[in-house]
Amino acid sequence: MYTVMVVEDEYIERQALVLMLRENFPELSLTGESGNGFEAVSQAYSGKPDLVLVDVGLPGKNGLDVIAEIQSFSRETAFIIISSHDNFEFAQRAIKLGVEDYLLKPVRLESLRAAISSSVSRKESRHEASAAATNLLNRMESIRPLIESDFIYSVVSGGQSEAQRKLLAFLGHENSSGVCLVISARNGANHPPVHSRELVKNFPENTGQKVLSGFFNKQSIIYLLTDGGAENDDLEELCGITLAYLEDNYRDIHIGVSEFMEGGNNWSNAYRQARAALKHAEEEGRGIKRYDRAAMFYSDGIPAQGRSSGITENHTNGSGRLASWVSLFVRVILDNREDQLEKLAEEICLALMSGNEFHTAREEAHKLIILLEQELKKALPLTEQRTDTDAVILKAAEPRHLEMCLLSHVKRLSLLVHETRDQNKNYFVDRAVMYIKNNYQREISLGSIAVEINVSPYYLSKLFRKYTGKTCTELIAEERIEAAKQLLAQNYSSKETCFQVGFNSQNYFVKIFKKYVGVTPGEYRNTSMPAQAAYNPPSAARRHTGSFG
């Protein structure tokens, strides 16, 4: 049922219109009639009629002013003007106000029927369109969580940027900028606090932020977004507010925060950055960690030259960057730090894809594997088992495939290294012992020996204890004492012998000699002299004979 109101200052004209409406338009309900503009506005404000028949020439407030005022609070009301004369200026203004028809007095039933029928049809069409739009919006809202989940899966799996752009466009965030948060639980809980994502989604509403969120691998993934035109300072402020809120309300979570992505250029990169920062936060026991492209996340046991450059630092020299990464991989593999391989491969892939086209990153990964294999062969006599990097890495179609391929090849090389070590378990120990025999006269240590044979001091120390039962210091001391015994047997003085075999202090030499031999160097020299003529000294001793002739 449609409601109608009549506004006409001439009583007879008004009653004629009312009678005509009641007798000929049963689908309409008369909600009021008025003889002046002020009363008409008041009635319309109370009743919000669907249709108003209004005379232009009203006293006090003319018909067009009445229309304009009613439209200010009832945009859905339609208007049909009634006038005793055809006025062009009134008609022009009526068109601007959106009046649906203009009838001349006396109003004829046929004209009124046509005007009302047309108005009702247009209103029904608008209602249908509005209902359809509302229905579409409701349907879109119902599938919005699914679209968000698709987007989150795409960024987690390193999907194509174009697909992500389309998903964001559907969600109304096509040109947004923003930051990624990845949240995990502290203390080994199976998931973050139940409502953490919902609270983050509700919290920023009064700051103008938009939020996309999802859940993957026991981690909450959240994108805080603003319009593409927002400045970095605005994003920084909004992100800071959100992080402060989370930190105040959730004490049992770790949060990794990415760099700001302007214009949504690479949301997968943002996720990778946030995940890398999260791992750092978990390792340090911190609540919040922001991604820092100059930082090194693998400081434990990795050489300082690797840390100084940083995995994700932008190098102008591409070969220098690859060499640095190869050095990191070599150290991790040779030190048998399997737990670091996956994290290192992930960070290097992130660095490769930051600021590079995918095909460039793919080619760099290919070079990296080839260089890594070459360096490992310098350290160990690896069998000629070449990994087929050309067939796999160069055919990787997506970033996530590239990371998987890189990690797969690195693990194959690591396995090959371990197999080689198993075939000759004393390989490093043999090299180290030989180095000690050839260089005991010099100032050597566990660190210098490890550098020489390309293995970490920590790992070499473990090998010494495992395969000799002795420390590096003990092995060096034994070699020096054996050489000292030979020199003393040739009538060298204790002082001469001390410095010939690599000791820097005569008192320390005497102490160590007595510890291993049971007597002082002088006592040993005196007891060994009768056997001197029959003694055949080693090459190391013979090299020093001429110095004291």
Q: Please report whether residue 132 resides in a domain.
A: no
Indicate the SS3 state at residue 455: coil
218 and 315 co-located in one domain = no
Nearest CA to 39 out of 50, 54, 29 is that of 54
Q: Please report whether residue 131 resides in a domain.
A: no
Mean pLDDT of 321-325: 81
Edge-to-edge order in the sheet of strand 288-290: 210-216, 219-226, 177-185, 253-257, 288-290
Round to whole Å and give the CA distance between 74 and 49.
Answer: 9
Q: Is the dihedral of CA 175, 177, 180, 181 positive or negative?
A: negative
Of residues 161 and 496, more confidently modeled: 496
Q: Which of 5-19, 335-349, 363-377, 425-439 has the lowest mean pLDDT?
A: 335-349
Tell whether the model's pLDDT for residue 60 goes beyond 80: no
Most confidently modeled range among 17-26, 259-268, 299-308: 17-26
331 and 379 co-located in one domain = yes
Nearest CA to 482 out of 524, 530, 526, 527 is that of 524
Tell whether the model's pLDDT for residue 258 goes beyond 70: yes
- The boundaries of the domain holding residue 508 are 427-548
Q: Please report whether residue 367 resides in a domain.
A: yes
Q: Please report whether residue 263 resides in a domain.
A: yes
Of residues 326 and 292, more confidently modeled: 326
pLDDT for 394: 59
Say how many CA atoms lie within 13 Å of 184 toward its Cβ. 23
Q: Please report whether residue 42 resides in a domain.
A: yes
Round to whole Å and give the CA distance between 223 and 178.
Answer: 7
Indicate the SS3 state at residue 35: coil
151 and 279 co-located in one domain = yes
Q: Which of 252-266, 289-303, 353-367, 464-478 has the lowest mean pLDDT?
A: 289-303
Q: Which of 23-32, 49-58, 132-141, 363-372 has the lowest mean pLDDT?
A: 132-141
213 and 238 co-located in one domain = yes
Tell whether the model's pLDDT for residue 346 goes beyond 80: no
Mean pLDDT of 400-408: 77
Tell whether the model's pLDDT for residue 478 goes beyond 90: yes
pLDDT for 397: 65
> Which residue among 365, 397, 423 closes a domain?
423
Tell whether the model's pLDDT for residue 292 goes beyond 90: no
pLDDT for 513: 93
Average per-residue pLDDT for the chain:
76
171 and 280 co-located in one domain = yes
Mean pLDDT of 342-370: 76
Output the CA–CA distances (angstroms, integers) from residue 417 to 413, 424, 460, in the order listed: 6, 11, 15
209 and 270 co-located in one domain = yes
Write the single-letter amino acid at 420: T
User: What band does 129 get if pLDDT is binned at 50, 70 and 90?
Assistant: confident
165 and 247 co-located in one domain = yes
Look-up of token digits 């009634």: 82
**Please, which residues bridge with residue 210 across strands?**
225
252 and 380 co-located in one domain = no
Round to whole Å and give the CA distance between 482 and 44.
Answer: 115
User: What band does 315 get if pLDDT is binned at 50, 70 and 90?
Assistant: very low
167 and 97 co-located in one domain = no
Of residues 393 and 268, more confidently modeled: 268
Q: What would the pLDDT profile of 479-503 be if each residue is shown by its tens digit?
A: 999 999 999 988 889 999 999 999 9
Domain count, the chain: 4
Mean pLDDT of 190-196: 50
Q: What is the CA radius of gyration of the chain?
A: 43
Q: Please report whether residue 120 resides in a domain.
A: no
Q: Please report whether residue 9 resides in a domain.
A: yes
Mean pLDDT of 533-543: 41
Count how many residues are written for the chain.
549
Torsion, Cα 263 265 269 274, to 10 degrees, reads 0
Pairing state of beta strands 2-7 and 78-83? unpaired
Task: Name the percent of the chain lying above pLDDT 90.
Answer: 13
Round to whole Å and give the CA distance between 3 and 119.
Answer: 12
User: What band does 396 get if pLDDT is binned at 50, 70 and 90?
Assistant: low
pLDDT for 532: 46
Torsion, Cα 311 315 320 322, to 10 degrees, reads 50
Look-up of token digits 């009629």: 49
Q: What would the pLDDT profile of 208-232 be if each residue is shown by its tens digit?
A: 567 888 877 678 888 888 765 555 5
Round to whole Å and give the CA distance between 123 and 50.
Answer: 9
> Which residue among 390, 423, 456 closes a domain?
423
155 and 253 co-located in one domain = yes
Indicate the SS3 state at residue 298: coil
User: What band does 190 get if pLDDT is binned at 50, 70 and 90?
Assistant: low
80 and 169 co-located in one domain = no
Q: Are 264 and 171 in contact (CB under 8 A)?
A: no
32: domain CATH number is 3.40.50.2300
Pairing state of beta strands 253-257 and 177-185? antiparallel
In 10-50 the beta strands, taken as DSSP E runs, fall at 28-34
pLDDT for 84: 76
Tell whether the model's pLDDT for residue 301 goes beyond 70: no
Tell whether the model's pLDDT for residue 381 goes beyond 80: no
269 and 333 co-located in one domain = no
Q: Which of 46-50, 66-70, 334-338, 533-537 has the lowest mean pLDDT?
A: 533-537
Q: Please report whether residue 171 resides in a domain.
A: yes
Nearest CA to 370 out of 349, 396, 388 is that of 388
Q: Which of 152-161, 247-256, 452-461 has the lowest mean pLDDT?
A: 152-161
Tell whether the model's pLDDT for residue 437 goes beyond 50: yes
